[in-house]
Every structure is written in C-alpha cells, then in structure tokens.
Amino acid sequence: MTEEMDYGVFEVDQHITAHSRYYAGWMGSHFYIRLRDEKKIHGVRCESCAKVFWPPRSTCGRCFSQLTADDLVEIGPEGTVETFTRVDYEEPVHPRRAPLIYAVITLDGADTGMAHFLGEVDFDRIEIGMRVRPVFAEERKGHILDIAYFKPV
C-alpha cells in the first residue's frame, strides 16, 4: 500500500510567452482600417435581428445570419458607460499603467457594448450612464488602441 504525503499549499512562479498573429478577418480589417485612416467607428447591423453590433463581426451572435459589407453602419462616436471597474495593480497584460478604468461603452447607434479605457476623468465622479466620446491616438496603427480612451462629454 502507498503512503500519501501531504505537501501543503505551494505556488509555482512561472511565466509563459506565446507569440502569435491574429487575423481579424475582412470585417475586422474593415473596422480597424476605418478607425486608423478615418477615425470612424463602424458596427454591423443584422437585418434579421435588427441589432447593431460593435465591433462588427461577420456572423450575428444571436441568429447566426451571415453579415456582409452591405450591413456595415457608422456608429457613435459618442456613447454611454454601461459599467466600469477601477484597476489599481500592475499586470504585464495591461496596455497601460495602473491606476486605470475599464468601462463597457455602448456607442450611439449600437446595441452592444465593448470594454475600453476611460481617461481625463475624476475616478470618483464616474457613473453608469455617463456620456463619453473617443479620444484617438496621435499615431494610429490599425488596432483597438487607435482609440486611446473615452472621456466624458
């Protein structure tokens, strides 16, 4: 018979690096190119559900209809804070230094929200329902951080 050993609680400190490339597809590519080159935000409207999603996707998440370039619509740029959280700690995966605020923002004309940063805001004055607008990065590269953050209107 084998005797069981109790080693107690222990922690393994390890770091995994995984390099990869992500292809956003033609719909995502359209979204990021317009964001980078025109500072315009697009969503996609599903004719079957009458819902507008942002960021756009090529398949409706509700009814699974195929969505095309004909379904793209310009949305925003202003929107509403649906929920938010304050982050006071550093993590290597955060694209900026703490403290920071992540908020889910539903843009005008969209039915879904997306998480992004809030900036130029007093942390103690943030509230659900707050109206915000995007502040674009000076140097845009074709990714979501081309919107540097959203600030109060």
Q: Which alpha helices (DSSP H) does 52-95 contain, by range?
A: none
The dihedrals phi and psi of 21, each to the nearest 5 degrees, come to -120, 145
Tens of pLDDT, residue by residue over 5-61, are 777 777 778 877 777 777 788 999 999 999 999 999 999 999 999 999 998 999 998
Residue found by looking up tokens 């996609």 in the block: 44
C-alpha R_g of the chain: 20
- Can you give the pLDDT at residue 1? 61
Q: Which residues of 41-63 are buried (b: 16+ CB within 10 A; e: fewer)?
A: bbbbbbeeeebbbbbbbbebeee
Tens of pLDDT, residue by residue over 77-105, are 999 999 999 999 998 888 899 999 999 99
Q: What is the pTM of this model?
A: 0.83
Tens of pLDDT, residue by residue over 123-150, are 999 999 999 999 999 999 999 999 999 9
- Can you give the pLDDT at residue 104? 98
Q: How many CB atoms lie within 10 A of CB 79?
A: 27
Greatest CA separation found in the chain? 72
In this structure, are residues 142 and 31 in contact, taking their beta carbons and an 8 Å threshold? no
46: amino acid identity, one letter: C
